[in-house]
Amino acid sequence: MLSREVAFPRWARRSDLLPGKSFLSLKYLFPVVNMKIYKYCRCENLSWIETILSKGLFYFCNWKNLNDPMEGYFKYHQSDHAESELEKIVNGKDSLGVCCFSLVGDDMLMWTHYASNHKGVCVEVDTDLGCSPQVSFEVIRYCSHIPLLRKRDGSNRSAKELLSTKISLWQYEHEIRAFCSGAGQQWKVGALTRIILGLQIEDQARTQLSLAFGSVPVTSASLDYSENRVII
């Protein structure tokens, strides 16, 4: 039997948010809190970051361009499903644009893997989840195995559900994903509230990006050596 254990990010365990609620869906959070989410950015492509900073637009890619080699995969028994059912699910995935964020901005591994070894930046966004007609959000569910498409599911297993489930190896990312209809688009997902500069950002990148900061507050990450963590 496929394990359904889910590893939730740190904020989901806070009892003061919604006592007794399961955080399988963000729909319970909509009336409660405007979320702050984080986009880690490399500085190799400064024009991309400048677009985010100057216009507040984030790029939504095709799911096949994401870095997990098991992204979007699911298991099924061939005898349980018609070809049309599987085709509907595959086409559903291809019809979506995806933009990946994190629920935390102080993860050392995230700075290393997604912000050029701390030479990049992290963009903090205050977003009113669920209110945009173009964009929807899903918190990633981390499981021990990729999803199993059961016979009773038919083609009703949604593409967003499959693209919001990853193996537990990735749980350090504390990921939340934004979805839109169709890849290759740019959308606003909320208000930019802070730009966090990496520990080792280079002077040239700092100078060039400063022209696009506008009124967005800028802070610099630091290290807490006593607790071995990044402070933002």
3-state class of 185 per DSSP? strand
The CB density around residue 122, as the number of other CB atoms within 10 Å, is 27
171 located within any domain: yes
18 located within any domain: no
Tell me the C-alpha distance between 16 and 12, whole Å: 10
The pLDDT-based confidence of 22 (bands split at 50, 70, 90) is very low
The pLDDT-based confidence of 48 (bands split at 50, 70, 90) is confident
**pLDDT at residue 152 in the model:** 61
The pLDDT-based confidence of 156 (bands split at 50, 70, 90) is very low
**pLDDT at residue 33 in the model:** 46
In the chain, helix, strand, coil percent, each to 5? 25, 30, 45
User: If you ran DSSP here, which 8-state letter would residue 3 be given?
Assistant: -
Give the pTM: 0.81
1 located within any domain: no
What does pLDDT average to over the chain?
A: 80
Q: What is the dihedral of CA 79, 84, 85, 87, to 10 degrees?
A: 110
Residue of higher predicted confidence among 9 and 62: 62
15 located within any domain: no
**pLDDT at residue 230 in the model:** 94
% pLDDT > 90, the chain: 45
Q: Residue 106: give the domain boundaries.
A: 24-231
Which of 206, 194, 204 lies closest to 53 in space, CA to CA? 194
Provide the number of structural domains found in the chain: 1
Yes or no: say if 105 and 122 are a contact pair by the CB < 8 Å rule. yes
